[in-house]
Structure 1
Amino acid sequence: MRQLIRPWRHVFKLDPDRALGDKELEAVCRSGTDAILVGGSTGVTYDNTVSLLERIRPYGLPCALEISDLEAAVPGFDLYMIPMVLNTADTSWILGHHRRAIERFGSLIPWELLLTEGYIVLNGDSSVARLTGADSSLDAAGAGAYAQIADKLMNLPVVYLEYSGAFGDMEIVREVREVVEHSQLFYGGGITGATEARQAAALCDTVVVGNIIYSDVEQALMTVQAVRETPQRDWL
């Protein structure tokens, strides 16, 4: 599964709990993005997740589900991405929900389709920070330390810098980039157009674009080419 995400430079993230017209969805899926990631912090249900998957499937893109609620664990995705929020004192978001999922679903879990994400949540005003109780006051050294835990101690396939709704501090992103050796570095948050997309793409392996889709789809579409045109440094 690591090999499936390795080519992903640009990903659009769609929230099942937010409305997106058919025309806009078609534009997103035909934009040249590498994949669609489905997920959200709140309001995600089995029904709205199934509905969104059915609308995406005809376009033939790789489609992953980021599971934030057990009730919205829908079969039929190419990949299931499992967040572990590293910078929280609430262990439910590190192992607790994961244990309950295994107890509940047991042998039904398609382990070969699962990838774990080491989330570092850095925007204290975001829904995900409030939900998980993440310590978003980290400086570059603190974020880098969590990134090394994910990359070196836990050997996670993905380190995910989540700014969710705000564009991140690129000095913190740079620090994390310099210490991550094995994991694929994802960035998400505050990308409203080509300029932010290029900055994130210069430092990260994969750029995730989400909120701007729902307010200005034309600006969202411009991020695809911006990421593709940005040279990716070989950090490994």
Structure 2
Amino acid sequence: MIAFSDMYAAWRHVFKLDPDREIPDEALELICLSGTDAIIVGGSSGITYDNTVELLARIRRFEVPCALELTGADSAVPGFDGYFVPMVLNAGSTEWLVGRQAEALAEYGAFMPWELTAGQAYLILNGECTAATVTEARTQLESDEVVAYSQLADRLWRAPVLYMEYSGMFGDMALVRRVRDSLQQARLFYGGGIATPEQARAAAESAHTIVVGNVIYSDLRAALATVGAVKRAACAGGGV
């Protein structure tokens, strides 16, 4: 069985599905059969055990790898290929840095499949998105501050994944590349505002892994087109 760390290290393109948002069976089938490397299940609000179980059961009809962002005890659902535990580096409260994680572990720590679990250091960089509101994230950061947070996660915490989250807007690719080039061991995930093949390719050339989410629900055809764009970028030698 492939180790979870080896699994996500090979991902270039990932779709992110929110259990709190409706997606028809036909659309879900197209997403799962699109050629994407994986599905991540997660969201910023409205996540429950029941809607997470329901979405996982629907995804499991297909062979695509599926991981869960474990943001609280309510969404601790068994059966995923792996689990990411987000820690928001620039959160306004320690609740979203270590508090909720410790709370979940106090209840479920004895049952955690640690060999399938990875820490995910988050940097939320769009102050208008739901994640920023929920976590009270300090998003007005200078470039040097973003790199400093990234190096803290990479070198001091040894977090295996750093996630630059611009949810709802397309981010600064020059800054994304700068962060990627500063990392020693962490894998850089980028998510936010990817709505066209051109944006997908630019993001894939700047980060190790791109995460495509909101456009699934607004323009499925455009979302599906991002898969081929990332594969073409990889064939052309773009990204790392």
Q: Same fold (TM over 0.5)?
A: yes
* Pick aligned residue for 1:21 from 4, 21, 24: 24
Task: Report % sequence identity.
Answer: 50
Correspondence for 1:59 among 48, 59, 62 = 62
Are residues 1:139 and 2:133 paired?
no
Deviation at 1:147, TM superposition (A): 0.6
Cα separation, 2, equivalents of 1:106 and 1:209: 30
- The reply on whether 1:212 has 2:215 as its aligned counterpart is yes
Residues 12-161 of structure 1 aligned to structure 2 (within 5 Å): 12-161=15-164
Which stretch shifts more, 107-116 or 97-106? 97-106
Deviation string, structure 1 residues 125-175 (Cα, Å, up to 9, x no partner) = 000001001111112111111110111111110000000111101122122
TM-score with structure 1 setting the length: 0.97
SS in 2 for 1:80: strand
Following the alignment from structure 1 to structure 2, what is the Cα–Cα distance between the partners of residues 17 and 78?
Answer: 20
Q: Which AA in structure 2 matches 1:79?
A: G
Q: Is the 8 Å Cα contact of residues 141 and 175 (structure 1) preserved in structure 2?
A: no
Deviation at 1:103, TM superposition (A): 1.3
Paired residue type of 2:66: C
Contact 2:71 2:100 in 1 (8 A): no
User: What is the TM-score with the length of structure 2 in the denominator?
Assistant: 0.95
Correspondence 1:162 to 2:165 = yes
Runs of 4+ deviating beyond 3 Å: none
1:222 aligned residue:
225
Q: Structure 1 residue 185 and structure 2 residue 188: aligned?
A: yes
Distance 2:148 2:231 in 1: 29
User: What residue ranges of structure 2 are gaps of 5+ in the alignment?
Assistant: none
1:41-95 alpha-carbon deviations (Å, 9 max, x no partner): 0011111111100110011111000012311111110101100000123111111
Distance 1:21 1:105 in 2: 32
1:3 is aligned to: 6
Give yes or no for contact 1:116–1:158 (8 Å, CA) kept in 2: yes
CA deviation after TM superposition for structure 1 residue 184, in Å: 0.5
Q: Is the Cα–Cα contact under 8 Å of residues 168 and 214 in structure 2 kept in the other structure? A: yes
Q: Distance in 2 between matches of 1:233 and 1:188?
A: 15
Shift of the alpha carbon at 1:113? 1.1
Matched residue type, 2:197: A
Instruction: Give me the CA root mean square deviation.
Output: 1.0
Task: Please report how far the alpha carbon of residue 112 of structure 1 lies from its aligned counterpart in structure 2 after TM superposition.
Answer: 1.1
Question: 2:125 corresponds to which letter in structure 1?
Answer: L
Kindly state the Cα deviation for residue 233 of structure 1 after the two structures are TM-superposed: 3.9
Query: Is contact 2:73-2:103 (8 Å) kept?
Result: no
The number of aligned residues is 234
Q: Deviations over 1:93-133 (max 9, x none)?
A: 11111111121123111111111101000000000001001
